[in-house]
Chain A
Amino acid sequence: MKAESIMIVGVGGQGTLLASRIIGNALIAMGYDVKMSEVHGMAQRGGSVVTYVKYGEKVNSPIIEKAGADLMLAFEELESARWLPYLKENGTLIMNRQKINPMPVITGSAVYPEGIEDKIRSAVKNVIALDALALAREAGTAKAVNVVLIGVMAATMKIGKEVWIEALGKTIPERFLDMNKKAFEMGYAAR
């Protein structure tokens, strides 16, 4: 098979790194060659962050190129718009309807664009949008936004649910596991 690509975009501090680790563990369990590339350091301080996940028989570059992502998991609206050129034609965008103002918007030197979801929908066919923050809170913690989104994504993929549950167990500390399993299920059902 040709390598498939998942791109995770969001704002530093939203838990995108943990999301990529869970996805990585699930893909490894499926026996794929996997490469992932992450952003550490400065951008994690509230900057625009992106994680690339590629899997298949053999993966070379860990980086996803423009029009290269089969799936894009966007943790924030503006970030989904920023990284949209990386979505493959007919790729699927899963977007969290959360808005986090970047500093130029806060200081008034820029405006947060209106109606991003509608604009994206008019260009892209496969869009799943949801309020993952509300679901995460319902599951018990606002921090589980990442796991809710993974749940949504898992429901679109051909990998068995049990593989995902196991990957959660491998990645998340025991004492938070139940809450996160719940968050995953809520995302899975929201699809």
Chain B
Amino acid sequence: MKKLMLGNEAVARGVYEAGATVVSSYPGTPSTEITESIIAYEGIYAEWAPNEKVALEVASGAAIAGARAFSAMKHVGLNVAADPLFTMSYIGSNGGLVIAVADDPGMHSSQNEQDSRHYARASKTVMLEPSDSQEAKDYTKWAFEISEEYDTPVLVRLSTRVSHSQSIVELGERVEYQLKDYEYNPAKNVMMPAMGRARHAIVEERMEKLKLLSDKGDYNRIEINDTSVGIITSGIAYQYSKEVFPDASYLKIGMCYPLPDNLILEFASKVNRIIVIEELDPFIEEHCKSLGLAVEGKDRLPLCGEYSADLLGEKLLGLKKGTYSLNDEIIPIRPPVMCAGCPHRGLFYAVKKLKLIVTGDIGCYTLGALPPLNALDTCICMGAGFTAAHGFNKARGNEFSKKVIGVMGDSTFTHSGITGLIDIVYNKGISTVLVLDNSITGMTGHQNNPVNGYTIKGEPTRQVDIEKLAYAIGFERVRKIDPFDVDNTIKVLKEETKADEPSLIIVQRPCALLKSVKYKGCVVVDHDKCKRCMMCMKLGCPAISDIDGKIIIDETQCVGCGLCLNVCKFGAMRMEGGN
């Protein structure tokens, strides 16, 4: 049977067909739909872990115990999971261990543009790179086989355009996988210096065998056509190249680590010149150069951003296209915004009023950094919202720290906020930190998490009690507030930032997009009462505009959350049809 599938759905299908039974992941665009799709299949245990390190450790344990195990994450997630990855390289597998990692060239939804191929080399493992959905499924299945045959974790590298493009996939049957026997084997599974030394040597031997596999050509394919130009490429860049150079010869790389030295040299002997076309870093290009080949590539192609057929045509062939345009019309940009009804808006409105410095984090609330709220001072990585506030405290002292707050969401809190809380108390900091608890992992498209008390399948489970946790860690000041009660939010923020001890404020209101949230009606403006003080405009609500000297509510956008009623001092906002 054939089916149109996202690259991510195809990876999930590959996990299913390979007979895997344990999956642990943490969401992150563009990888999230892999694990979300897996829960539709019977016979696979799947979970959202609190973070990627936990996820890969769970999958590692499952693989050692004899199951085929899988974990999916975005590129920056692999930074978090790097610790288990590097040592699992020594331990190897038992049941196959496969990790999908999705890069985001062009940074559609990420804080950096790192190239995860470096991790395969650094951890001395294997990396496969599909270029469409069919390959995404096939390579995932292969990855399990390689993992078991060569006793290594295997990475499958995706990118936004492979993960989020749909193409046709031929479905196959699920293999009936028997758990591998589990045997007590400390020399292989207990990594301490004596064992690690022996295993490192085995890893180096394994790399030699894997190079032979790479050279065999099952994953790396030579397509000889016109030999005046030879192109070495991989992943989505292969598809772009095919559009621009349909007649060229190709070495299509499907296993991007280890690279196939002999195939590369053979290809080089058959073509007049070689162009390496790869997004982000010159990973393949530098390898070719290390083989003594004079290849072209990053001399003309960029290191930053995504590629496209247009870009290749322009940079490599000097092509320029005539297009329709509205001449000198200025088209305003449309950046993403916090949704109408977003609970984070109330909090940031209060924070702005108090002119606080905000060490932020990653989630929907990062959008508070954009105008008109302009509310974030920093955003580094998940967890840094709290810890960077502590850094400000220690750099500039306690008085300064009273103007600083750290914020992060509920999912981010269980991902890596807890250790930051401990650091603050343990090291006698006085920071005020906030968990923005909207009862969901919002930015990545609504995944349940340990704070909202539902599993990946929506089953009720135990809920992390942030308040009790904070007391147990040693916080003595813990408050709970509703961000739409703007006056109280301002009051509590003032009280807690003033204190000479650390405070945790749990800011609670569910995401407006949750089905359980039932706002009703729509706000209308009473123009007789409106004094045009513009307080409502400071909310940055996409439903409120100032058009031709009048405050207008766009009824297609307004969800009836009522926040603007709370900030209008003149009673000019009225809820119509609401509750």
Q: Does B445 contact A (CB under 8 A)?
A: yes
Residues of B near A106 (CB, < 8 A) are 372, 537, 540, 542, 544-546
Stretch from A56-64, A146-154, A155-163, A179-187 forming part of the interface with B: A56-64
Stretch from B16-24, B77-85, B288-296, B325-333 forming part of the interface with A: B325-333
B309 touches A63 (CB 8 A): yes
Residues of B within 8 A of A (CB): 2, 4, 6, 29-30, 32-33, 108-109, 132, 161, 164-168, 236, 239-240, 242-243, 308-310, 321-326, 329-339, 364, 367, 370-372, 443-445, 537, 540, 542, 544-546, 554, 556-557
Closest residue on chain B to residue A101 by CB atoms: B545
Bound-state CA distance A101–B333 (Å) is 10
Q: Give the contacting residue for A48; candidates B243, B322, B334; CB below 8 A.
A: B334
A81 touches B329 (CB 8 A): yes
Chain A interface residue count, Cβ-Cβ cutoff 8 angstroms: 61
A107 touches B323 (CB 8 A): no
A62 touches B239 (CB 8 A): yes
Q: Give the contacting residue for A107; candidates B2, B164, B243, B540; CB below 8 A.
A: B540
Counting chain B CB atoms within 10 Å of each CB, which of A61, A67, A105, A116 scores highest? A61
Q: A35-B166, A36-B166, A37-B165 are in contact. Are A84 and B324 (CB under 8 A)?
A: yes
Assuming A34-B166, A36-B4, A46-B339, what are 15 further A-B pairs, CB within 8 angstroms? A35-B132, A36-B166, A40-B109, A42-B29, A46-B336, A46-B337, A47-B334, A66-B321, A66-B323, A81-B331, A82-B331, A103-B372, A103-B542, A111-B332, A120-B326
B239 touches A28 (CB 8 A): no
Bound-state CA distance A37–B108 (Å) is 13
Residues of A near B165 (CB, < 8 A) are 35-38, 62
A43 touches B108 (CB 8 A): yes
| Interface set, chain A 9-46, CB cutoff 8 A to B | 11-13, 24-25, 28, 33-46
Closest residue on chain A to residue B322 by CB atoms: A67
B30 touches A41 (CB 8 A): yes
A contact patch SS: mixed
- Chain A to chain B contacts (Cβ below 8 Å), 12 pairs: A33-B168, A35-B132, A61-B242, A61-B243, A67-B322, A103-B335, A109-B371, A110-B330, A113-B329, A116-B326, A119-B329, A123-B325
Q: Give the contacting residue for A41; candidates B109, B166, B556; CB below 8 A.
A: B109
Encode A84-120 as 1/0 by CB contact (under 8 A) with B: 1111010000000010111111111111110010011
A142 touches B556 (CB 8 A): yes
Q: A45-B364, A85-B323, A106-B544 are in contact. Are A61 and B331 (CB under 8 A)?
A: no
Residues of A near B109 (CB, < 8 A) are 40-43
Q: Does A166 contact B (CB under 8 A)?
A: no
Residues of A near B239 (CB, < 8 A) are 60-62
B339 touches A13 (CB 8 A): yes
Q: Give the contacting residue for B323; candidates A45, A67, A100, A105; CB below 8 A.
A: A67
Residues of B near A105 (CB, < 8 A) are 332, 545
A107 touches B372 (CB 8 A): yes
Closest residue on chain B to residue A47 by CB atoms: B336
Bound-state CA distance A13–B371 (Å) is 20
Residues of A near B168 (CB, < 8 A) are 28, 33-34
Bound-state CA distance A66–B325 (Å) is 11
Closest residue on chain B to residue A33 by CB atoms: B168
Residues of A near B324 (CB, < 8 A) are 67, 84-85, 87, 89, 123-124
Bound-state CA distance A101–B335 (Å) is 11
Bound-state CA distance A37–B332 (Å) is 24
When A and B form their complex, which 3 residue pairs have the shortest distance between CB atoms, in order from nearest?
Answer: A41-B109, A41-B29, A110-B332
Q: In the complex, what's the smallest C-beta–C-beta distance from A30 to chain B, in angstroms?
A: 12
A60 touches B243 (CB 8 A): yes
Bound-state CA distance A178–B409 (Å) is 39
A38 touches B164 (CB 8 A): yes
A100 touches B331 (CB 8 A): no
B540 touches A102 (CB 8 A): no
Q: In the complex, what's the smallest C-beta–C-beta distance from B336 to chain A, in angstroms?
A: 4
Closest residue on chain A to residue B308 by CB atoms: A63
Q: In the complex, what's the smallest C-beta–C-beta distance from A189 to chain B, in angstroms?
A: 23
